[in-house]
Amino acid sequence: MDKQNDTGGSTKEPSISELENGLAAQNQAMHESKLVETASVASSDTGAATAAPVPAANTPAGTGNAVPGAVSAAVADGDAGKKNGTLQVMAFVLGIVIIILLFLLVIYTIIKGTDTVTPTPTVAPTSAGGTPAPEVATLTLTKPGEAATVDGKILVEGVASVSLANLTVQAFDNDGTVLGTATVELTGNANQTSVTYSVFLELEKSSVSESAYVQVYPNSEGKTSELTKTTTVLFETVSSERVKVFAPHRNMKYTGGAVLFRGQMQDFFEGSMGLRLVGGNGGILYDTSIQAQGDNYGQFASFEQMVNPGTIPSTAGGNGKWEFYDTSMADGSVTVLVTIPVSL
């Protein structure tokens, strides 16, 4: 329908279909405008300067395919920006945690350092290139045992450190008189630190009592050494029906000089008993008598007497004997009652 305008001309009124198409185009333009604004906001969050293209206002519906693609790219950029921001925050927090841990570690090291105790160095056992541990010397005495019965030749045994080199073995009486002495040399192979020693101690003097002491000590330190070992021994009694001999002891070593004879005797005429020293070859080296100290008839009487045969000749032989005998008053025959072996 045509209308007349103020200038006198006539205008043609739009049809209903044209009005509907215009309204649809206007709504499409408004919708695309909102999408562009949303894309612009997302792009500004990520710091990107990319601007979405704005389509022409008269772009018909269904021909604006470029706008949705730009919007999708912007949205993707926004998501990536958010992820990058999250990673940056996590990295920052992790850095703070590491700094705190390092600080705590420094504090702990300072505190721990004030409590540190320096360990005491120890001496290692013998090893290649190391300092050998000092050896503790030892000495034992196993024979004779305590209160063992012995004669004039005493077997002495034990174990000693090789480092002691030499030992002195000694027997002495209750009054300190030395009865006999022997020396032991300690030797061993390279792998031995201690060895067993064994020696026969031959007494040269008789004990004044039924007991004595055997002692072993290092030569280098003397009998006052802390390693010194001492034991008590008892001397055997050699006896027969009429004679008991306490000294001298069997198997003593005798090289001459005074000898103590001590014991008991019974039923000897006038209390006199014969005594002689016989050499290894059977020859009589010395002959004398022992006198009882009391009445010996029907009972034992003690005797104690020093005898000195003098010098023993070299031809006497190695093994001799003391013989205690009785002489018959009827025919002068000799009856040997007790024999004491002796080393000449």
Burial (Cβ within 10 Å: 0-12, 13-18, ≥19) of residue 246: buried
Does the global pTM surpass 0.85? no
Q: How far apart are CA 31 and CA 191, in angstroms?
A: 107
Query: Would you state the pLDDT for residue 28?
Result: 67
At residue 25's C-alpha, the angle toward residues 71 and 76, to 5°, is 5
Structure tokens at 133: 């541990």
- Kindly state the DSSP code that residue 251 receives in the 8-state scheme: T
Which helix (H) or strand (E) segment is 165 a member of?
none
**Residue given tokens 């021909």 in the structure block:** 63
Residue 150 pairs in a beta bridge with 235
Q: How far apart are CA 76 and CA 49, in angstroms?
A: 15
Strand 243-247: give its sheet, edge to edge.
238-239, 243-247, 259-265, 301-307
Q: Do domains 136-236 and 237-344 have the same CATH topology?
A: yes
Amino acid symbol at 69: G
CA-nearest of 52, 43, 50 to 81 is 43
Radius of gyration of the chain (CA): 64
Match domain 237-344 to its CATH number in 2.60.40.650, 3.30.1330.30, 1.10.760.10, 3.30.1330.20: 2.60.40.650
At residue 44's C-alpha, the angle toward residues 38 and 49, to 5°, is 110
**Domain spans, the chain:** 12-116, 136-236, 237-344
State pLDDT tens for residues 124-163.
455 455 566 667 999 999 999 999 999 999 999 999 999 9
Q: Can you list the residues of the chain whose pLDDT is less than 50?
A: 1-11, 41-67, 70-71, 116-124, 127
Q: Is the peptide bond before 60 cis (omega within 30 degrees of 0)?
A: no
Structure tokens at 125: 């056992």
Query: Would you state the pLDDT for residue 291?
Result: 97
DSSP strand pairing (334-343 vs 252-253): parallel
User: Residue 211 in 3-state DSSP?
Assistant: strand
Structure tokens at 325: 């005998």
Topology annotation, domain 136-236: Immunoglobulin-like (2.60.40)
State pLDDT tens for residues 71-111.
455 555 556 666 677 788 888 888 888 898 888 888 877 77
Q: How far apart are CA 192 and CA 186, in angstroms?
A: 11
Identify the sign of the CA torsion 202, 207, 210, 211.
negative
Beta carbons within 8 Å of 341's beta carbon, 6+ residues apart = 250, 251, 319, 320, 321
Residue 290 · residue 246 · CB < 8 Å:
no
Alpha helices (H) in the chain, listed in sequence order: 16-45, 66-114
Residue 181 · residue 148 · CB < 8 Å:
no
Query: Would you state the pLDDT for residue 301?
Result: 97
